[in-house]
Structure 1
Amino acid sequence: MTITPATTSLDLPSVDWLDPAELARDPYPSYERLRQEAPVAWSPAVKKVLISTFEGCSFGEQHPEIFSSSIAGGTLVRAIGGRPLIRKDDPEHAAERAPMNRALRPKQIMEVWTERFEANARQYLERMISSGNGAADLNTDYAVPVAAKNLCDMVGMPQVDPLDLARWSTDFIAGTGNVLDRQDIWDRCERSRQECDAALDETIARLRRQPDPSITSMLLEGGMDEEQVRNNVKLTISGGMNEPQHMITNMVWLLESAPEQKAEVLAQPELWKQVFTEAVRYFSPIGMITRQTTSDVELQGVTIPGGTQIGMILASANRDAGRFQNPDDFDINRAGGTNLAFGSGVHQCAGKWAAQKAIGEIAVPMLYRELPGLRRDQERAETWGGWVFRGMTSLPVIW
């Protein structure tokens, strides 16, 4: 695979058949067709050149000098009201990322956040058990409040109702994925931005007086100006809520769909890390990331002009048979190769270690320890939503 300036202007393959509504219902058949027929192709519906293979997405992530994150405008910037660090390239990106890394490094996760993650999971699990009469919606009764309370703590906003923060996150994520430019979604983003900014007024004033280990405090201590602190906290709220929430329900859904593997991990708790890794490969919570080419580039036989918006479909890359054997099978004993669930390179998700600890080692294992009879309720409907960010919106369970 090469990076060379194109000498002639070439027409891009086009996938006129790709339908965002179908992607929201179930994106994986469309992803397979993309990989087979047009691994690098222009989508009129999404208004991006889509890269759908593991090879192509990995290449893009490892070459930020060509596949730039510095994109003027775009849905993310409009959703949160400013340009956060993931819409910047190094060295500007690295300067803003450094204080966030200090808040989220593995040592900090172990020493500061693990105890809080455990307390939050136990609080909402006990609440679900006491009020559920042996049945619950695992998404609304456990995954949402656990992920939201963890995030309130991590961004230094304990005064915020976790369900308000969850709503802000939902609205910011809806805006980021608003490729159809629906005005009602932009209106929701505006309301949530105003509420979030009001809460940040209080939070920033308090943290300037009394610093703590939170992400917001670390950003302030790192000398970041207040506007960028706000942009990066709102970025953290958008991604730091949605993805852990979906990881909880995805892991449970997958284990309940694979009873032999469930029995294996319950007998060998050391396998929980493998469950987490395979679950985020199988159902990637970050479906697509956006880049922009800085110059003409040839990728998998297709010349992409400079200045083109790119959608790297990580959820498709993680189901690529060129990388993973039997990729549509959930296999906690899968051998060989990392996946792209959290991206890679300089823009790899900063919250990877927090998610692995909070969800893969605490929230889901605790569910099965305390509720050994936990299982999906076959009498009630499960629901899914989204494709840029995809996850369960309802998972009825009984125990």
Structure 2
Amino acid sequence: MTFATIVRTKALPVADWLDPAELARDPYPSFRRLREEAPVAWVPAVNKVLISSYEGCSFGERHPEIFSSNVSGGTMVRAMGGQPMIRKDDPEHAAERAPMNRTLRPKQIMEIWAGKFEANARHYLEEMIEAGPGSADLNLDFAKPLAAKNLCDMLGMTNVEPLDLARWSRDFIAGTGNVLDKQEIWDRCETSRAECDAALDETMARLRRHPDPSITSMLIEAGMDEDKVRNNVKLAISGGVNEPQHMITNLVWLLDRSPEQKAELWADPGLWKQAFIEASRYFSPIGMITRETVADVVIGDVTIPADTQIGMILASANRDEKQFPNPDVFDIHRDGGPNLAFGSGVHQCAGKWAAQKAVGEIAVPMLYRELPELRQDAGRRETWDGWVFRGMTNLPVVW
């Protein structure tokens, strides 16, 4: 008997207690309750069936023929003004992703982008140091502008100020997570789309004359039509700032509370890769991904009907006690198999390798080499935002 073929099934449980406001404050207690009481449940507050277990989310990622990415009326398409590759199924998805992969594989990351990541990290570290201990904010002075500048370079958008691109990313992410349909968020998305499209007019014209190794150039060289190029650049903007930005602050926040593990990283820098992987499990930067069933499917002992919108809560799956012993403990020596922080299967985040290099191998190790006493300012608290995409908006630091 396999996970998806259980004969005796039951109707969908309803989790009418789930409160999006509580999720925004701290989602993990609610995720735990979902896993314990109803790992597959209809949630009226978000108008979706939520899957919260590792096994359920992993199954969904392994079966894109059932869990389609082509979600009808999805918030992502509305936020960005078009349908990017992540909202398409193969073979159309694969055809659009292939040219992007040409510049995002580990070999290309090392040969083309690692030097730029290093120079950019050095630049923003100097700016944070200039702000001074007690005034510096790791997110505002380092993580956000660094992630945005790295992405400007990777997109070939040299005409864009990094903080403008970071604002577009924030708005596209807010729109993608706008499950409560707030008009103020849609208005922000519209403004950012217009600014992004204006910048892309110049970028695309320049790259047609002078191709380079950037993502945008690869999409153009592949013969992709202009609307698809724009949609997929906006997709890269939405995740390409948010995820590495939050991974920097998450990792520093966790190490600040794990002095023994921080000391191990000093003694053995080879552990940084595992520290990045464990931090991405503990605080998953992609909290939930959306799918739509194309046929009835059984998950555990629950039947999900066809044409149902699904939210696969990766942040919950990565805290599932059945997959990860002591999941609420940050442990850089954890041996629990792969996590789902960047998704898996055909839709695994294309920027995973870039984030691992830029954050886990360059930016955060550089922070501690240059500022060995770096720590959160005890007199100023951090602030968190979101649950579909969750991370710190402020992390005051001293050194």
The TM-score, its normalising length taken from structure 1, stands at 0.98
Q: Secondary structure at the match of 1:136?
A: coil
Where in structure 1 are there 5+ consecutive unaligned residues?
none
User: Is the 2:52–2:313 Cα contact (8 Å) retained in structure 1?
Assistant: yes
CA distance in 2, matches of 1:4, 1:56: 13
- Distance 1:15-1:224 versus aligned 2 partners, 3 A rule: same
Which segment drifts farther, 130-139 or 186-195?
A: 130-139
Matched letter for residue 238 of structure 2:
S
CA distance in 1, matches of 2:166, 2:101: 23
- 1:184 aligned residue: 184
Amino acid at match of 1:105: R
Asked whether the equivalents of residues 5 and 295 of structure 1 are also in contact (C-alpha less than 8 Å), the reply is: no
Whole-angstrom CA distance in 2 between matches of 1:295 and 1:134: 56
User: Which position in structure 2 is the counterpart of 1:283?
Assistant: 283
| Distance in structure 2 (CA, Å) of the matches to 1:343 and 1:173 | 17
Q: Return the alpha-carbon distance in structure 2 between the equivalents of residues 11 and 265 of structure 1.
A: 49
| 8 A Cα contact 2:24 2:387, kept in partner | yes
Query: How far is the alpha carbon of 1:6 from its aligned partner?
Result: 9.8
SS at the partner of 2:286? coil
Q: Deviation digits for residues 81-116 of structure 1, max 9, x if unmatched?
A: 000000000000000010011110111101100000
Question: Quick check: 1:382 aligned with 2:367?
Answer: no
What is the CA-CA distance between 1:134 and the residue it aligns to?
5.6
Structure 2 distance, partners of 1:319, 1:115, is: 35
Cα shift readout 1:146-197 (whole Å, capped 9, x = no counterpart): 0000000001101100000000000000000000000000000000000000
Partner of 1:124 in structure 2? 124
What CA RMSD, in Å, does the superposition of the two structures yield over aligned residues?
1.4
Deviation at residue 4 of structure 1 after TM alignment: 6.3
| C-alpha separation in 1, matches of 2:100 and 2:263 | 38
Measure the CA separation in 2 of the matches of 1:374 and 1:303: 50
- Map 1:285-324 onto structure 2 (within 5 A): 285-324=285-324
What is the match of residue 207 of structure 1?
Answer: 207
Hey, what's the Cα distance between the residues in 2 that align with 1:48 and 1:6?
24
Deviation at 1:255, TM superposition (A): 0.2
Letter in structure 1 aligned against 2:88: K
Gaps of 5+ in 2: none
* Equivalent residues in 2 for 1:1-399, closer than 5 Å: 1=2, 3=4, 11-133=11-133, 135-399=135-399
2:225 partner amino acid: D
Whether the 8 Å contact between 1:69 and 1:88 is mirrored in structure 2 is: yes
What SS class does the counterpart of residue 284 from structure 1 fall into?
coil
Task: Tell me the distance in 2 between the aligned counterparts of 1:137 and 1:97.
Answer: 35
- The alpha carbon displacement at 1:268 in A equals 1.1
Q: Offset of 1:131 from its aligned partner?
A: 2.6
CA contact (8 A) 1:211 1:217 kept: yes
Q: Secondary structure at the match of 2:224?
A: coil
What is the alpha-carbon distance in structure 1 between the residues aligned to residue 200 and residue 6 of structure 2? Answer: 45
Q: How far apart are the structure 2 equivalents of 1:207 and 1:132?
A: 39
**Structure 2 CA distance for partners of 1:7 and 1:38, relative to 1, 3 Å:** closer
CA drift at 1:128: 1.0
Taking only the aligned residue pairs, the percentage that are identical comes to 76
**1:73 positional shift:** 2.3
Aligned-residue offset at 1:12: 1.5
Deviation at 1:133? 4.7
State the distance in 2 between where 1:390 and 1:3 align: 30
- Kindly state the Cα deviation for residue 267 of structure 1 after the two structures are TM-superposed: 1.5
Contact map agreement 2:6 2:300 (CA 8 A) in 1: no
Three-state SS of the structure 1 residue aligned to 2:378 is coil
- CA distance in 1: counterparts of 2:317 and 2:6, whole angstroms: 26
Q: Is the Cα–Cα contact under 8 Å of residues 137 and 397 in structure 2 kept in the other structure?
A: yes
Q: 1: CA distance between counterparts of 2:96 and 2:133?
A: 47
1:117-155 CA-partner distances (Å, limit 9, x unpaired):
000000000111123256411010000110000000001
TM-score (norm 2): 0.98
Secondary structure of 2:136's counterpart equals: strand
The secondary structure found in structure 1 opposite 2:102 is helix
CA distance in 2, matches of 1:369, 1:215: 31
* Letter aligned with residue 284 of structure 2: S
CA contact (8 A) 1:5 1:296 kept: no
- Counterpart-to-counterpart distance in 2, 1:83 and 1:177: 16
| Aligned residue type for 1:110 | M
